[in-house]
Amino acid sequence: MLNTLVSIITSGNTIDFRVSHAEATAVKTVVTDLILGKYDVVAPAVPAAAQPAPPTVQPEIHDQLQKLASLRDSGILTDEEFTAKKAELLARL
């Protein structure tokens, strides 16, 4: 059985492996398609202990609402603009 050497060269590494000559074209196609993003590749699951905590958005939204109220009170925003943006921010909660 004849083998074909497959080399995948990246910016910091080279991976060499051998496949049967009959499978070489199929392997090349799969690797090329992966590089071009033709497959949906699922990243390995992160262990529960290592997952980052969800960001706290309430203080940020509270600050934005205060800024919007200030802009409305100074006449920069209309009541309609303030109400629309307020509803948008509250929908994020």
Span 3-45, pLDDT tens digits: 888 888 888 889 888 989 888 888 888 888 888 888 777 777 7
% the chain with pLDDT above 70: 84
> In the predicted model, what is the mean pLDDT of residues 38-62?
71
pLDDT, average across residues 62-81: 89
Rounded Cα distance between 31 and 10, Å, is 13
**Both structure tokens of 49:** 């202990």
| 66-74: average pLDDT | 89
Confidence of residue 46 (pLDDT cuts 50, 70, 90): low
pLDDT at 37: 82
Please list the helix, strand and coil fractions of the chain in percent, rounded to the nearest 5, in that order.
50, 15, 35
Q: What is the pTM of this model?
A: 0.39
- The helix/strand/coil state of 33 is helix
